């Protein structure tokens, strides 16, 4: 199935972390830095201009934006500009950056760590998957991971999908306390990056080397291949009033190859938009108390 994609934001260097909040779309430029807000009217504003390697964004219930990056988990109130750090260390040890993330439906979130804190020109180091609760309790769920990337939950919250770039996509059972067990292969396609889940429980996975999204049924079988105008497809999210707007971020056509060489790719990355038949799964907000937090 070919969707009709239209570019709604360009040109950038290496886009990631799309997250829709009502009619607003948030996204980040991994290499040039900055957290961007695209309004329904097409106006783009930039926040956290010096923040690089933002690979994940979630919305807090009080309107704050929580994002990853080389310094860990950070937050900002867009209307006031007030910002701070949610988490930058675990058990007294510095956190090696935070990459993609997903709200856990209980006020906290799941997140993976960065490889070499975003120094992508180096051979990848092993990463880890964590959960932080709404009251700030941090639990290591799994370490020794290839390259932690996209994270999503099934509609009932009982399954967690997790991309390990350069290895494949895995699925876990989620226990009542938010921990995970029973790791199983969901897809063995190695160039997986971000992912999102729709209201039918299907998993849409972005692929950074083959120019496509793939929609997987909950049993792991492929429902459809969705070509995207650029080769390096990095992530996707749903949005709009009916959650049938699909937003896809890319790193252009040369983004991944340049990143692995430690250089910036040409500025051709875009955010693409298309309408889809099946609505996306609503993403819950986190419930962190941030106004008094200034460190991890």
Q: What is the pLDDT of residues 125-164, one digit of tens each?
A: 789 999 999 999 999 999 999 999 999 999 999 999 999 9
Q: Pick the residue with more confidence: 168 or 263?
A: 168
Total residue count of the chain as it appears in this document: 296
Q: Please give the Cα distance from 16 to 250 (Å, whole number).
A: 7
Residue of 191, 193, 198, 245 marked active site: 193
Lowest mean pLDDT among 62-71, 108-117, 196-205: 108-117
- Residue 122 pLDDT greater than 70, yes or no: no
pLDDT band at 80; cut points 50, 70, 90 = very high
Measured from the Cβ of residue 46, the count of other Cβ atoms closer than 10 Å reads 12
Please give the structure tokens belonging to residue 259: 């990143």
Closest CA to 117 of 145, 92, 137, 96: 96
- Give the pLDDT confidence of 197-242 residue by residue, as tens digits: 999 999 999 999 999 999 999 999 999 999 999 999 999 999 999 9
Please give the structure tokens belonging to residue 80: 């006031």
Closest CA to 290 of 135, 138, 140: 135
Report all structural domains of the chain as residue ranges with CATH numbers, in order of start: 6-275 (2.120.10.30)
- Give the pLDDT confidence of 18-45 residue by residue, as tens digits: 999 989 999 999 999 999 999 999 999 9
- Give the pLDDT confidence of 5-19 residue by residue, as tens digits: 999 999 999 999 999
pLDDT for 293: 47
pLDDT for 117: 55
pLDDT band at 120; cut points 50, 70, 90 = low
pLDDT for 295: 40
Whether 193 sits among the annotated catalytic residues: the reply is: yes
DSSP per-residue string spanning 139-195: EEEEEEES-EEEEEE-TTS-EEEEEETTTEEEEEEEPTTS-EEEEEEEE--S-EEEE
Per-residue pLDDT averaged across 263-270, rounded?
91
- Residue 294 pLDDT greater than 50, yes or no: no
pLDDT for 254: 86
Q: What's the CA dihedral at 142, 62, 12, 195 to 10 degrees?
A: 40
CB 234 within 8 A of CB 27: no
- Residue 296 pLDDT greater than 50, yes or no: no
Per-residue pLDDT averaged across 260-270, rounded?
87
Closest CA to 235 of 214, 199, 270, 207: 207
pLDDT band at 118; cut points 50, 70, 90 = low
**Share above pLDDT 90 across residues of the chain, in percent, rounded to a whole number:** 88
Half-sphere exposure of 79 (CA within 13 A, CB side): 3
- Residue 261 pLDDT greater than 90, yes or no: no
């Amino acid at each position: 199935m070919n969707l009709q994609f239209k570019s709604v934001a360009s040109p950038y260097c290496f886009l990631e972390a799309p997250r829709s909040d009502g009619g607003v779309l948030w996204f980040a430029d991994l290499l040039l830095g900055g957290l961007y807000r695209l309004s329904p009217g097409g106006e783009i504003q930039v926040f956290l201009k010096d923040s690089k390697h933002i690979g994940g964004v979630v919305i807090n219930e009080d309107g704050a934006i929580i994002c990853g990056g080389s310094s860990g988990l950070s937050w900002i109130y867009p209307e006031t500009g007030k910002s701070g750090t949610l988490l930058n260390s675990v058990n007294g040890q510095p956190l090696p950056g935070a990459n993609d993330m997903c709200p856990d439906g209980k006020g906290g979130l799941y997140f993976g760590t960065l490889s070499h804190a975003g120094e992508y020109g180096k051979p990848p180091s092993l990463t880890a998957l964590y959960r932080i609760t709404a009251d700030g309790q941090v639990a290591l769920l799994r370490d020794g991971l290839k390259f932690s990337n996209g994270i999503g939950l099934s509609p009932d919250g009982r399954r967690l999908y997790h991309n390990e770039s350069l290895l494949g996509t895995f699925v876990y059972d989620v226990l009542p306390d938010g921990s995970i067990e029973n790791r199983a292969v969901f897809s063995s396609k190695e160039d997986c990056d971000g992912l999102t889940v729709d209201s039918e429980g299907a998993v849409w996975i972005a692929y950074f080397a083959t120019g496509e999204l793939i929609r997987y049924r909950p049993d792991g079988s492929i429902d459809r291949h969705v070509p995207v105008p650029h080769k390096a497809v990095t992530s996707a999210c749903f949005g709009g009033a009916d959650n049938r707007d699909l937003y896809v971020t890319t790193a252009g056509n040369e983004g991944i190859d340049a990143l692995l060489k430690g250089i910036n790719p040409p500025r051709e990355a875009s955010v693409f938009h298309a309408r889809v038949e099946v609505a996306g799964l609503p993403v819950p907000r986190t419930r962190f108390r941030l106004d008094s937090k200034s460190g991890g």
